[in-house]
Amino acid sequence: MTLNEINGMKAIMPQIDRSWIDQIIVVDGGSTDGTVEWAHENGYEVYIQQKRGFRHAYTEVWPFIQGDVVITFSPDGNSVPELIPELIAKMKEGYDMVIASRYLGDAKSEDDDFVTAFGNWLFTHTVNFLHGGHYTDVMVIYRAYRKAMAQELGLNREDAHALPEKLFRTKISWEPLLSVRAAKAKLMIAEIPGDEPPRIGGERKLQVLQWGAAYYFQFIRELWFWRRG
């Protein structure tokens, strides 16, 4: 996922061995800094999303994903490329989802401040308490999971996100809800430790209060809102 990440792309993408995976898609949210042009020049498949927001980027690009397993990755420096083979190896053990946790074992987030660190702690403990999870990190983008889970868990449905987005006037991603519904469905979930280095260039796009409120609303509503069919 990119939005004005030219510096991060130049630093991070050359570290990814293309033999590790079958396909790389750069999903761009409207960059104006040369990100898209650089991606094209370096032979990457690029999709320009039509609607604003992470979840729309996912739902729009999902039909173009060829594989059975997806790794969602941020090229802004927060995701460590060397963990990709470890995520894949863990998925091959039969897991439905493997998370690169910033808080497992000795892993740490160098991009956290006090507010985001507390928020991640609160959200993770809330999901574990309400929905029977065993997570150390429910929020992180960097994870591998079966492509089919988007449909199986209803992540691509408008009713999963529309109300909290309207109430809190924001656009949210689907990783927190993915964590909740994967736990509710009792899927096979694993975590590996994964540091989160500081971001490289670009602008931090967090909307801490709006996103936090929208995600917490989802966590509580999920007590009765969704059941696996």
Q: Write down the mean pLDDT value for the chain.
A: 95
Q: With a cut of 90, say whether residue 202 has pLDDT above it.
A: no
> For position 206, what pLDDT does the model report?
63
Give me the mean pLDDT over the 76-90 stretch.
97
- Which residues are bridge partners to 146 per DSSP? 69
> For position 203, what pLDDT does the model report?
58
> For position 97, what pLDDT does the model report?
98
pLDDT band at 228 (very low <50, low <70, confident <90, very high): confident
pLDDT band at 154 (very low <50, low <70, confident <90, very high): very high
Residues with Cβ within 8 Å of residue 151, at least 6 apart in sequence: none
Q: Using an 8 Å Cβ cutoff, are 149 and 182 in contact? A: yes
> For position 218, what pLDDT does the model report?
97
Q: With a cut of 70, say whether residue 61 has pLDDT above it.
A: yes
Name the pairing type of β-strands 97-101 and 45-48.
Answer: unpaired
> For position 2, what pLDDT does the model report?
95
The predicted-structure confidence for 89-141, as pLDDT tens digits, reads as follows 999 999 999 999 999 999 999 999 999 999 999 999 999 999 999 999 999 99
Q: Enumerate the domain spans of the chain.
A: 67-225
Burial of 147 (0-12, 13-18, 19+ CB in 10 A): middle
Residues with Cβ within 8 Å of residue 76, at least 6 apart in sequence: 5, 8, 12, 199, 200, 201, 202
CA neighbor of 102 nearest in space, from 115, 120, 77: 120
Beta-strand runs (E) in the chain: 25-28, 45-48, 69-72, 97-101, 143-146, 189-193
pLDDT band at 205 (very low <50, low <70, confident <90, very high): low
Tally Cβ neighbours within 10 Å of residue 83: 20
Q: With a cut of 70, say whether residue 39 has pLDDT above it.
A: yes
> For position 49, what pLDDT does the model report?
96
pTM: 0.95
Q: With a cut of 70, say whether residue 204 has pLDDT above it.
A: no
The whole-angstrom separation of Cα 102 and Cα 194 is: 5
pLDDT band at 208 (very low <50, low <70, confident <90, very high): confident
For residue 209, the one-letter residue type is L
pLDDT band at 227 (very low <50, low <70, confident <90, very high): confident
Q: With a cut of 90, say whether residue 152 has pLDDT above it.
A: yes
Tally Cβ neighbours within 10 Å of residue 198: 11
